[in-house]
């Protein structure tokens, strides 16, 4: 595994890649972020592609490519993450809508939105696999491992319609 730390306007991110593709992208302090490794970091082609994607994204542009990915997880998690990749830039969907789409795509009973939320929360490649575009049915900006303020900032950067979205009251 190769690691690289990249600075962004929302704080440092840790990039992790193997020879196949990007395996991880975590904001510093994210719920599931690994500690920065003590081993030397090395920029590889998947990391270079991810850095280029981040530069475009944070300049306010919609990147027109996806870096090579190597997403490791359960079959269910990978199905959820594949759906996340279909959410258009600047748009949001609910956990419930993702659950309904999974049921439709796989011809199975509808998974609970909480199960979908668990898979969304375990997304190892934040931003590029856009878990920040998933919101609660009420419009609550809930469930972002990188922090709800970052989720709000990312949606504002994408010029998403924020009129029905809100940060939950944490009091």
Residues designated as active site: 131
Q: Give backbone dihedrals phi and psi of 95, rounded to 5 degrees, phi first.
A: -60, -40
CA distance 110 to 93: 16
């Amino acid at each position: 595994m190769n690691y690289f730390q990249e600075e962004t306007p929302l704080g440092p991110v840790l990039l992790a890649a193997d020879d196949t593709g990007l395996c991880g992208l975590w904001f510093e302090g994210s719920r599931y972020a690994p500690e920065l490794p003590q081993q030397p970091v090395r920029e590889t082609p998947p990391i270079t592609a991810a850095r280029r994607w981040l530069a475009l994204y944070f300049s306010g542009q919609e990147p027109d490519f996806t870096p090579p990915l190597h997403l490791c997880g359960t079959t269910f998690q990978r199905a959820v993450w594949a759906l996340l990749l279909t959410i258009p830039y600047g748009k949001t969907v609910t956990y419930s809508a993702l659950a309904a789409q999974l049921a439709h795509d796989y011809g199975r009973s509808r998974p609970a939105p909480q199960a979908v939320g668990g898979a969304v929360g375990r997304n190892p490649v934040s931003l590029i696999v856009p878990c920040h575009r998933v919101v609660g049915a009420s419009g609550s900006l809930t469930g972002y491992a990188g922090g709800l303020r970052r989720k709000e900032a990312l949606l504002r950067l994408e010029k998403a319609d924020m009129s029905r979205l809100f940060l939950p009251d944490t009091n």
